[in-house]
Amino acid sequence: MGFVNIRIAGWGHYAPEKVVTNQDFEKMMDTSDEWITTRSGIKRRHYAGPDETSSTMGVIAGKKALLLAGMQPEEVDLLIVGTSTQDMIFPSTACLIANKLGCPEPMAFDVSAGCTGFLHAFSIATQFLNAGLYKTALVIGSDTITRYIDFSDRATAVLFGDGAGAVVITTKGASKPMVLAEIHGSDSSGAYKLFIGGGGSAHPINVHSIKNHENVFYMNGKEIFKFAVKVSDTILDSLFLQTGLTPDQIDHYLFHQANYRIIESTANRLHIPQSKLIVTIDEYGNTSSATIPMSLSVSADSGKIVAGQKIILVAFGAGLTWGGMVIQWNL
């Protein structure tokens, strides 16, 4: 299937003000800066304040993206949010963000795919633009994972932070296709390896679910690590096969920021130089659906990503889900 011309009109990101360092964790539990740094690459992460939520962070990132695009909220006809930590069970975080931004009548919905949420949302948005149904989409990844951390599980607790990233994509004024190839999938045999069990219809929040620790994040880190390395390799092989591109023809590689060792493993196999890796995990930790749009925004702001460059995006997360895209940074 061919792809229509799309350009990236704007981007933005937001990280809460409160920073939690590895040294802060040393005071809270039996851990060390050395362990966290060597095992994950994380140094700091940002925690949402009591009044901050996935929608409030998404609004700030979305506003920045629209401002940069020089667009009004009225021009957004599609608003999709990748999140697994929505403000409420319903309505969707996308509708809350549309309300706060003042987007009058967009098609608005959330995508729940763990850390792959943004990439699935981004792909869905491009399909709607491809189909000619809409012209301009605001796509946001926003997660407030720290609300669900089990601070008695040191292997998981140290990994996560909160944040949001947003991009505006549009067919208006676009002269080249943005998506060059993509692949998405899931392996539901791993559905119970990474989850928050409470709050849904199976285990509504009540005294029993809290007593059973169902209100916090569970992750089988070792299993997820193996899955992430394997699926990242599969995704990259497929993207190169689909496009006929070779690893050296890609300008930047942006993997979901879950653990630097996962990024390093795939990079080493393909001899990808460090300079081509986009890495923000040291500053933000794993912000789930937000890692990819935040990292894109940080890199575009700093001038690391510039017009015309080819970028590979790779995500994986709860489900277990995964996705990969080759995009061209058309402005």
Q: Write out the residues near ligand ACO by the rule CB under 6 A.
A: 31, 35-36, 39-40, 114-115, 154-155, 158, 194, 221-222, 224-225, 228, 258-259, 286, 288, 317-318
Quick one: which of 189, 158, 223, 173 has its CA closest to 22? 158
User: Which SS3 state, helix, strand or coil, does residue 315 take?
Assistant: strand
CB of 194 vs ligand ACO, minimal distance in Å: 6
Which of 30/51 has CB closer to ligand ACO?
30
CB of 228 vs ligand ACO, minimal distance in Å: 5
**Cβ 194 vs Cβ 218: under 8 Å:** yes
Candidates 13, 120, 256, 259; catalytic one: 256
DSSP string, 118-160: HHHHHHHHHHHHHTTS-SEEEEEEEE-GGGG--TT-HHHHTTB
CB of 136 vs ligand ACO, minimal distance in Å: 29
Which of 40/55 has CB closer to ligand ACO?
40
Spatial distance between the Cα atoms of 284 and 293, rounded to a whole number of angstroms: 12
Candidates 22, 215, 259, 286; catalytic one: 286
Catalytic residue list contains 13 = no
CB atoms within 10 A of CB 101: 20
DSSP string, 285-302: -B-GGGHHHHHHHHHHHH
Which of 43/135 has CB closer to ligand ACO?
43
CB atoms within 10 A of CB 225: 16
CB of 114 vs ligand ACO, minimal distance in Å: 3
CB of 266 vs ligand ACO, minimal distance in Å: 13
Lay out the sheet containing 107-111: strands in order across. Answer: 7-14, 163-170, 136-143, 78-82, 107-111
**Cβ 93 vs Cβ 86: under 8 Å:** yes
| CA quadruple 162, 167, 253, 145: dihedral, nearest 10 | 20
Which of 177/221 has CB closer to ligand ACO?
221
Catalytic residue list contains 203 = no
Catalytic residue list contains 103 = no
Which of 206/234 has CB closer to ligand ACO?
234
Candidates 103, 115, 215, 330; catalytic one: 115
| Residues designated as active site | 115, 256, 286
